[in-house]
């Protein structure tokens, strides 16, 4: 008779938890997973998926305008916000069902209830106590709102996907992926957007040219960008909300959305009492095998404060399941992770920024190109694309690749393969471009900038 009910119990059915559960079961392990909110986690329900759907929809007004340059007379168009929400909800429900089916078909036991650790092997889930040889914490993160007066009037990305109507005025607070993306989404749908960021320039950690270029493009579109600005208090008024800023000025708005960071979902699930070491922000300390300070308890994804990206959590999950139940000794490679920001226009990036490359290498060459996308030669829209390559001089290896422009994420995926393979600038130069595309610019930039 088995000592424990399960070989692995996964707390959290997001992208990382589900992947680890089903792969571990595929290796022959007896697996259960617990999820108290919704199958698929943040990405499927209130993250990547609905955000990308909203992003698609927010581009239609400009597409209607651009159509006239190509001979199309587009008639009067109106927005049915409720239809958007209903259609989005229907798609998310479909994906929830797919996740449920995937787990069931993998013989993973599903507990749609909150799980709390009683000791290093016992879990209380839905009023039932079960035991497991190994436990994985994959509970993801949750949006944080600063402790300011009136914080209860603010929303986060969680609530943004369920608004009853499109607000006319939005204050977006923050300067990361989510803030920049939602500023573009709300502006695209027709809201007046003011974005506040407490620093000098948003998207800290990205290449400086990319950050400046996106800011310029957003300002041209009409987004009210305000850097070195922050809210001290919120007050409800007869006409909406009143935000008081640090400089004493005020702004009236209908919605204030905070996207100033996410906190790991690690509190009150029993970790503290077991001696699982956590950082001040609640993220779990793990080694390179995702083992916590309690030998049989593991953690991955957003709760370990490495890279808060869905594909990273999935990669970590595949490594962990293979190591635990398939006898492998893999590690996760965090270098050259490609990523996209679905801003207006999009950002795609992989590898080092210019600033990082200059710190790391004695010599680098920078190749930079800005141009009007071919689409807008007939629309007359004042939008420019930026592409940038960073090359380490001694080896000729391309160590950074960045883009701001339409379909940047789609284009950078291929660049990610090239950088992972160690491609040099000579390889880029020897590659025949696909004409006419924006992507060909990456293989036709010949002269470095002075």
Q: What is the CATH number of the domain that holds 19?
A: 3.50.50.60
pLDDT in tens, 398-417: 999 999 999 999 999 999 99
Query: 315 and 355 in one domain?
Result: no
| pLDDT higher than threshold 90 for residue 105 | yes
Query: 155 and 133 in one domain?
Result: no
What lies within 8 Å, CB to CB, of 70 at 6+ separation is: 378, 379
Structural domain boundaries, residue 47: 6-143+263-325
Question: Could you confirm whether 402 is annotated as catalytic?
Answer: no
Query: 346 and 256 in one domain?
Result: no
Query: 177 and 90 in one domain?
Result: no
**Does residue 334 fall inside a structural domain?**
no
pTM attached to this predicted model = 0.96
Report yes or no: 155 and 48 within 8 Å, Cβ to Cβ. Answer: no
| pLDDT higher than threshold 90 for residue 23 | yes
Structure tokens at 401: 């690749």
Residue 296's pLDDT is 97
Query: 305 and 362 in one domain?
Result: no
Q: Which of 111, 121, 376, 435 is catalytic?
A: 435
Average pLDDT over residues 68-87: 96
Exposure string over 427-437, b if 16+ CB within 10 A, otherwise e: ebeeeeeeeee
Domain count, the chain: 3
pLDDT in tens, 142-182: 999 999 999 999 999 999 999 999 999 999 999 999 999 99
Query: 239 and 123 in one domain?
Result: no
Residue 71's pLDDT is 97
Structure tokens at 129: 């106590």
pLDDT in tens, 210-240: 999 999 999 999 999 999 999 999 999 999 9
| SS3 state of residue 26 | helix
Q: Could you give the C-alpha distances from 287 to 4, 294, 332, in angstroms and in order?
A: 25, 11, 11
Domain boundary among 228, 244, 260: 260
| pLDDT higher than threshold 70 for residue 1 | no
Query: 226 and 180 in one domain?
Result: yes
Query: 98 and 82 in one domain?
Result: yes
Query: 112 and 232 in one domain?
Result: no
Confidence of residue 139 (pLDDT cuts 50, 70, 90): very high
Q: Give which of 416, 368, 425, 418 is closest to 396, Cα–Cα.
A: 425
Query: 132 and 15 in one domain?
Result: yes
User: What is the average pLDDT value for the chain, to the nearest integer?
Assistant: 97
pLDDT in tens, 310-335: 999 999 999 999 999 999 999 999 99
What DSSP state is assigned to residue 155?
B
Confidence of residue 305 (pLDDT cuts 50, 70, 90): confident
Q: What is the CATH number of the domain that holds 363?
A: 3.30.390.30
| pLDDT higher than threshold 70 for residue 419 | yes
Direct distance between the N- and C-terminal alpha carbons of the chain, in angstroms, rounded to an integer: 72
| pLDDT higher than threshold 70 for residue 80 | yes
Write phi, then psi, for 291 (nearest 5 degrees). -85, 135
pLDDT in tens, 341-373: 999 999 999 999 999 999 999 999 999 999 999
**Does residue 448 fall inside a structural domain?**
no
Chain center to CA of 407 = 16
Q: Give which of 272, 331, 261 is closest to 300, Cα–Cα.
A: 331
Average pLDDT over residues 248-263: 97
Query: 13 and 50 in one domain?
Result: yes
Query: 199 and 305 in one domain?
Result: no
| pLDDT higher than threshold 90 for residue 2 | no
Percent above pLDDT 70 for the chain: 100
pLDDT in tens, 423-441: 999 999 999 999 999 999 9
């Amino acid at each position: 008779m088995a000592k424990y009910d399960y070989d692995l119990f996964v707390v959290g059915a997001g992208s990382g938890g589900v992947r680890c559960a089903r792969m571990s079961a595929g290796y022959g392990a007896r697996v259960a997973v617990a999820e108290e909110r919704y199958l698929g986690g943040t990405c499927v329900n209130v993250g990547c998926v609905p955000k990308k759907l909203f992003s698609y929809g927010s581009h239609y007004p400009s597409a209607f305008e651009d159509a006239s340059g190509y001979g199309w007379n587009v008639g009067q168009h109106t927005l049915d916000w409720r239809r958007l929400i209903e259609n989005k909800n229907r798609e998310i429900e479909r994906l929830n069902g797919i996740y449920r089916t995937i787990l069931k078909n993998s013989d993973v036991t599903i507990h749609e209830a909150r799980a709390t650790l009683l000791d290093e092997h016992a879990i209380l889930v839905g009023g039932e106590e079960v035991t497991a040889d190994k436990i994985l914490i994959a509970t993801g993160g949750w949006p944080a709102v600063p402790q300011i007066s009136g914080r209860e009037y603010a929303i986060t990305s969680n609530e943004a996907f369920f608004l009853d109507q499109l607000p006319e005025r939005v204050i977006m607070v923050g300067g990361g992926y989510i803030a920049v993306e939602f500023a573009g989404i709300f502006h695209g749908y027709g809201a007046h957007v003011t974005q506040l960021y407490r620093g000098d320039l948003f998207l800290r950690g990205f290449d400086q040219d990319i950050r400046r270029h996106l800011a310029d493009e957003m300002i041209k579109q009409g987004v009210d960008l305000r850097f070195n600005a922050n809210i001290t208090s919120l007050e409800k008024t007869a006409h909406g909300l009143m935000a008081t800023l640090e400089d004493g000025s005020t702004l009236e708005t209908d919605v204030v959305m905070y996207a100033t960071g996410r906190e790991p979902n690690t509190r009150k699930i029993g970790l503290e009492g077991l001696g699982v070491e956590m950082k001040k922000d609640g993220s779990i300390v793990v080694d390179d095998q995702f083992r916590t300070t309690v030998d049989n308890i593991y953690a991955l994804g957003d709760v370990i404060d490495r890279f808060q990206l869905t594909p990273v959590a999935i990669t970590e999950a595949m490594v962990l399941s293979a190591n635990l139940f398939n006898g492998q000794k893999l590690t996760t490679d965090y270098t050259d992770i490609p990523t996209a920001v679905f801003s207006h226009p999009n950002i795609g990036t992989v590898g080092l920024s210019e600033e990082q490359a200059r710190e790391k290498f004695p010599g680098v060459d920078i190749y930079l190109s800005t141009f009007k996308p071919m689409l807008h030669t007939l629309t007359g829209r004042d939008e420019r694309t930026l592409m940038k390559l960073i090359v380490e001089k001694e080896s000729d290896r391309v160590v950074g690749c960045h883009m701001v422009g339409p379909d940047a994420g789609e284009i950078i995926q291929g660049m990610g393969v090239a950088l992972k393979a160690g491609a040099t600038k000579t390889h880029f130069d020897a590659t025949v471009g696909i004409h006419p595309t924006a992507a060909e610019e990456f293989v036709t930039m010949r002269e470095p900038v002075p």
